[in-house]
Structure 1
Amino acid sequence: MKKILLILLVAACHLLYAQQDSDNQYKRPLKEVISEIEKRFEVKIKYSENQVADKWLSYADWRFRPSLEETLDNVFKPLDLKLNKEKDRVYKLKEYEYYRWEVQDGWDNLDRLAALYSDKTSWEARRDSIRPQLYKALKLSPLPALPKSKPILTPKRVMDGYTVENIAIEIMPGLYINGSIYKPLKMKGKVPVILSPDGHWFDHRFRADCQIRCAMTAKMGAIAVSYDLFGWGESGLQFKYEDHRKSLAQTVQTLGAIRLLDYLLTLKEADKTRVGICGGSGGGSQTVLMAAMDPRINLSIPVVSLSSYFYGGCPCESGMPVHLCGGGTNNVELAAITAPNPQLVISDGGDWTAHFPQHDYPYLKKMYAYYGKASQIQNVHLPEDKHDFGFSKRKAVYDFLIAQFKLDAKAVQDKNGNYDESTCTIEKKEALYVFGDKGEKLPKNAIMGYEQLEKLFK
C-alpha cells in the first residue's frame, strides 16, 4: 500500500512540475516585451504603469514576426490591448475596442447582411423577425407593467415663444426617468412630438446646445422632450455615475423612452401621425434603436453616430445583445428598419461617421428604394466638423423637421431668413430638476443602487 501511495505521490509531483513548466515556459513580463519591440523596430510605445502591471506573455519570443504589424497583433490582442498610432513611429497603448471595427470589415459585414434580402418582401421578412428579438435582447418582452403612479410635473416656465416643464415618470416600481418638456407657447390643433435622447457630452441634457435645440423645435410648433441618460443627470440620485457603464443602462433608457412616448401621446394636442426622435452620439444610437423598435415613431434623425463599423462604445448603446439579433446585425441595418419613414443621418469628418456617405448611405438608399421612397433617406455630411451637436448640425435638424413635419420656419428665422437662436433661454441646470436641488423631493419608494435595479429584471 505504501508503495502505491509513493508511486501516486511521485506521479502527482511530476504532473505538478510539468504543469508549472508549461504555464511559465518562455513567459516574460509585458513591460519587458514592449521594451524589446521598441528596440527591434525602433518605435516608441507610450503606456501607463497600471496598463502593464502584472501582465505576462507566455511564449513571448515566439510572438515576434518580421513585420511590426504582425508582432503587435500577436503581442497585444490576446491581452485585449491595442496600439493607436499617434505619429510616425510613436504609438499609444489602449484597451482593445471590440465595438470599433476596421472600416472595410464593417462594410464587408453590411454587404453580407444586404445579401440576405433582395426585395421588399424578403427584407420585411427579416425586419419583422428582428424587431421582436430586440425586445427580448433588452429583457423587455413582455414589457414590464406600468406603475399606476401619475407623472410628476413641475410648474410651466414661460419663455419667448415656448414653455418648459420638467417631468418624472415611474417606469418600473421605484425606477424613474426624468426630463424636460418644451412646448409651443401657442398651439393650434395637433402638433408633432419629438423625443430627444441625450448623448455623452458634458452636462448632458442641461447643456446649452440641448436646451437651444429643444426650444427652437418648440418655437417652430412641436413638442420636444429631452431626458436623462441612465445614471446621469437626475438619474444619478438613484444610481452611481459608474452604473451608466453597466449593461442594463441600455434597457432602462429604452424603456424610459417608450414610457415617455406613452405619456406624450395621451396629450390632446399630440399628433400621433407626426412622431420623431433626434439624438446625437449615444443619443443617436438610441434614436436608431427606438425607431427600429417602436412603430409609433415615423421620423428619425441620428446625429454623429450611425456607422456600420462602430457599435457604440458604451453599454447604454451595446450593453445588451441587440446586435446579435437576426443572427447578427449592426446599427445601419437597424436604421433600415424605419424605412420608408423620413430619416436624416448627420455625419462628420471627425469620428466614426467619417465614411458614412461612401458605403452605408448607398445601402440605406437601396433599402428605401424597395418602397419607391429613396428620397426619404437623406444625409448631411460635414467633413470639416468634429463630434458635437454644434450649429451646423442643429441647422440641418431644423431644415429637416420644417420640411417633413411642416413646422413654422418664420418663427425661428430673422429678417434675412437665418435661424436665430438668440431668443432661446439657457436655464441653469437646477431649473431643469424635478426632485429639487439636492434630491430632497425624490419619491420615498425610489430604488437605490444597481443591485436593486437588477432585482426588478429577475
Structure 2
Amino acid sequence: MRKLGWYVVLIGLGIWCVFAAPLPSRLPGDQLLFCYFSNEVEMVADLTKEKISQLLENPDSSKKLRQQLIEMLGLPLDLERTPLHACVTGTNFCKGVLVEKVHFQPIPRVYYTANLYLPLEQQGRLPAILYLCGHWSFVSNGISYGNKVRYQRDGITFAKNGYACLVLDTVQWGEIPTDHRGTSRQAAWWWNSIGFSPAGIETWAAIRALDYLCTRSEINTNCIGVTGHSGGGAYAWMLAAVDDRVKAVAP
C-alpha cells in the first residue's frame, strides 16, 4: 500500500512538471534551423521564378519537362486512348442540382466511378471543374460507395454557382476499391521495378476524365479547371502539368 502511495506521488509530480513548469519557447538550435529553412525556401522560390521565365521564353524546354514528368509517372508517351465506354447509370436531384452517376474505363476493364453535378438552369455551355478526391473512404455495411461521397458538398457548391463538376473517385477508394499504397503498406517494391506508380494511374484516369467531359455537349471545353483535396490536390498539379486542356488549377 505504501509503495502504491509513492507511485501516486510520483505521477502527481510528473503531471505538475508537465503542466506547471514552463517550457522554453525556443531551443538552442531552433533559430539556426529557422534561418536555414527560410533561406532554402527563398532560394527555391527565386529559382522557380527564374525557371518559369525561361519556360515562357523557350517552349521546347516546357515540352521536354512535360515528357520527363510523364515518364516519371510511369506512363508511356504513346499510351493509347482506348474507348471510354462511359455510362450514366442513374440521376438524382440533390439540394437544387442534378447529379448523374457515371462510370468509365480509362484503360480496358478498369472502371472508375464518378458523380457529375449540373446546375438545373443552364444558359449556353457550362464551364467545368474536375474534382479529384482525396483518400477518404466511405464504406457502409461492407459496401464502398466511393470517396466522392465525402465531397458532395463541393460538387453541389460548384453546380449552384453555374459549373458542371465531375467528382472522380480514386483507385484506392472507388466503388470497386483496389490497392493504391502498395509500397507504403504492402511492401510491393516490385511496383518500382516495373515502373508502376499509383500517381501514374490516377493522373491517367484524370486525363481520361477530361476526355469524358469533352464528350458532353453541355460543357465548354475551353473553360475547364481542376481542383482536388489531399492526394487529389497532388494529382491536380500533375494533370495541369501534362494536359493543356486545364485552363486553371487550384488544389
Q: Which amino acid aligns with 1:268?
A: S
Equivalent of 1:205 in 145, 148, 155: 148
CA distance in 2, matches of 1:229, 1:270: 23
1:131 counterpart residue number: 66
- Check if 1:279 corresponds to 2:228: yes
The runs of at least 4 consecutive aligned structure 1 residues that moved more than 6 Å come to none
Q: What's the counterpart of residue 111 of structure 1?
A: 46
Q: Deviations over 1:157-193 (max 9, x none)?
A: 1234311122111111221221111111222210011
Aligned counterparts, 1:302-381, within 5 A: 302=251
* Structure 2 counterpart of 1:212, one-letter code: R
Work out the CA distance in 2 between the residues paired with 1:136 and 1:273.
27
Aligned in 2, Cα 1:243/1:153: closer, same or farther, shift over 3 Å? farther
Q: 1:254 to 1:244 in 2, by over 3 A?
A: farther
Alignment-mate amino acid for residue 230 of structure 1: V
State the partner residue of 2:88: 153
Please report how far the alpha carbon of residue 145 of structure 1 lies from its aligned counterpart in structure 2 after TM superposition: 2.3
Check 1:241–1:250 CA distance in 2 against 1; reply closer, same or farther (3 A cut): closer
- C-alpha distance after superposition, 1:79-112 (max 9, x if no partner): xxxxxxxx76xxxxxxxxxxxx955434423434
Counterpart of 2:124 in structure 1 is: 189
Q: Secondary structure at the match of 1:233?
A: coil
- Structure 1 counterpart of 2:207, which letter? I
In 2: Cα distance, 1:159 partner to 1:116 partner: 45
Deviation sequence 1:283-327 (CA, Å, 0-9, x none): 22111111121111111112xxxxxxxxxxxxxxxxxxxxxxxxx
Instruction: Tell me what 1:9 maps to.
Output: none
* Partners of 1:188 and 1:244 in 2: CA distance: 47
User: Do residues 178 (structure 1) and 113 (structure 2) align?
Assistant: yes
Larger relative strand fraction: 2
CA distance in 2, matches of 1:107, 1:281: 25
The match for 1:289 is 238
| Matches of 1:118 and 1:103, distance apart in 2 | 23
Give unmatched runs, 5+ long, in structure 2.
Answer: 1-22, 25-35, 139-146, 185-190
CA contact (8 A) 1:214 1:226 kept: yes
2:3 is matched with none
Deviations 1:224-246 (A, max 9, x none): 0111122223241xx23644857
> What are the equivalent positions in structure 2 for 1:13-32 lying under 5 Å apart?
none
Offset of 1:150 from its aligned partner?
A: 1.6
Percent identity of the aligned residues?
Answer: 26
Q: Amino acid of the residue matched to residue 232 of structure 1?
A: W
Change (3 A) 1:105 1:229: farther
Cα distance in 2, alignment partners of residues 244 and 211 from structure 1? 30
Higher relative contact order (CA 8 A, sep 6+): 2
Cα separation, 2, equivalents of 1:116 and 1:187: 41
| CA shift in 2, pair 1:133/1:227, >3 Å | same
* CA pair 166-102 structure 1, distance change in 2 beyond 3 A: farther
Out of 176, 179, 182, the position equivalent to 1:240 is 179
CA contact (8 A) 1:232 1:244 kept: no
1:243 and 1:152, CA in 2 relative to 1: closer, same or farther beyond 3 A? farther
The 1:131–1:155 alpha-carbon spacing in structure 2 relative to 1, beyond 3 Å, is: same
Q: Is this contact kept in 2: 1:218–1:224, CA < 8 A?
A: yes
Which of the residues 214, 217, 224 maps onto 1:265? 214
Instruction: Write out per-residue CA displacement over residues 237-257 of structure 1, whole angstroms, 9 at most, x where no aligned residue.
Output: xx2364485752101111111
Q: Residues 131 and 284 (structure 1 numbering): CA distance in 2 closer, same or farther, change over 3 Å? A: same
Q: In 1, Cα distance between the equivalents of 2:50 and 2:126?
A: 40
Per-residue CA deviation, residues 346-391 of structure 1 (Å, 9 max, x unaligned), is: xxxxxxxxxxxxxxxxxxxxxxxxxxxxxxxxxxxxxxxxxxxxxx
Matches of 1:171 and 1:232, distance apart in 2: 16
